[in-house]
Structure 1
Amino acid sequence: MCVVTDEHPGIDLSRPNAARIYDYMLGGSHNFAVDRAAGEAMLARFPDAALAGHANRAFLGRAVELCCELGISQFLDLGSGIPTAGNVHDIARRHLPDARVAYVDIEPVAVAHSRAVLADQVGVTITRADLRDPDQVLSADGVRGLLDFEAPVAVLAVAALHYVAPDDDLPAVVGRYREVMAPGSALVISHGSDDVADPAAAAHMRELAEVMATSATPAYLRSRARLHEALAGFDLVDPGLVDIRRWRTHSELPDTAVYGAVGLVSARRRR
């Protein structure tokens, strides 16, 4: 894969972007100088930030594997970010070789590099769209032309929904996706929060949100109760809504202050 340079027309290089900072944190090459500077500043204040990024990626992997175990072979990855190790189609196809994946992101660098990486992949698409506009996402050729919503689909919103502003009504956004999800479908989310038992982790997350407030992609923290509101209509699989380091794994490391959950659509829940 090529390294991103600073000569990309139409991309705002005056402010860092969450997807590109995340790519830098994971050791990727699809980022600009402004993103690397922001990443280094973040690591100087929060040395464990990169570990939290890897924990989120590991959570994504476990959640995709669970979906495959449940027989779900279709994935809609919202806010998919920049291609890096452990892409959804790589994980899913280790279990289900014919798995289909529709990636969606609004960030132009993420979309451009996804197109390059996925050029030879059959049954995998990338669409530039805003996850806050479900109708735009669901009507896009790369989504409706690939996924059959009459059959189970896993909708992934991992480290994505905390970029949805409070005014955008997160339960309504999630609810629109739920309306089209067939019984047996799954929703996978992870979301930053300062509503956690560990005061140090809560303070850490608030400081991270303050740093991101100066970027092109500010993050908004939500309480555990607010996240449960967004998950209304889904049956949460064990262990429910918990820190991503406690979701179906054991870790000696402290909590990340990022909640994760997988919810299923049952026949009685679908509208």
Structure 2
Amino acid sequence: MNKLLVLVLAVWCGAAHAQTPTTNPMPDGSRDMYAGLGVVSGARYEGADDRKQRALPVLQVQWSNGIFISGMSAGMHLSGRPTVEYGPLLAVHPRRNESGAAGSIDDVQGFNTLLPVTMRQGSGRGNPLAGMDEIKARPEAGAFFNYYLAPEWRLTSSVLAGAGNDRNGMRAELGIQRLAARVAPHHTVSVSAGLGFVNRAYNQSYFGVTAEQSANSGNPAYRPDGGLKDVRLGARWNWTLSPSWMLTSTVQASRLAGDARHSPLVERPTNVTVSTAFAYRF
């Protein structure tokens, strides 16, 4: 069951922070599938000062041959060693329009927003994305590599390329996870920390402002370099209601760093995302 807890929560990070589920040994020809629905509250876009609440579908499927689908990402476990996980990884980086709302998981997967959007323009200067080009959803391809320091501690890493309108944005993730620790019967808690790195093309697409965009939006022109993009801390609580049902909740704090943090599109460099969902095992 502990592996289930890791699998389901991989969906919450969506395309923003692609995660890979742990290897789940199963009989040949079998599969595990988890599906559910919850809600998430987070920044309207990376660096926004206002927040949006939306419905969040939870979907995770893993087959005995190592192939998995986890929300907006998919991949395959190729390692036969219990302490090492690696393989190819695919993901969908969501689009971003002037409202920022099009980059949500529910929009990409066809789910409608159930809760009202809360708009709070703390900067007093309107919407920084107004007049900026829409960034289309793009498929990304790459690989992941994870290493177990101990059965309950895992170092994680992934590299994905293909984001942005020119499809030349690249991002890499490095992290550490403390897998589910039992704190009471049917209750477990996990914690994680991570760093995100991007190339110049990625930062220019999502945090840069060209001369033409500056004229259209009123934002000052800005040409960021690549490097460290953000740092993250997260915690997850899982309540196993029955062998088939689970309530899972997360909180994640992230802070933009480097050139991304100084973008004129960024109103608030630090944001907190909270979410909760019911998941059913088929």
TM-score (norm 2): 0.27
Scaled by the length of structure 1, the TM-score of the pair is 0.28
Structure in which a larger fraction of residues adopt strand: 2
Which structure shows the higher helix fraction? 1
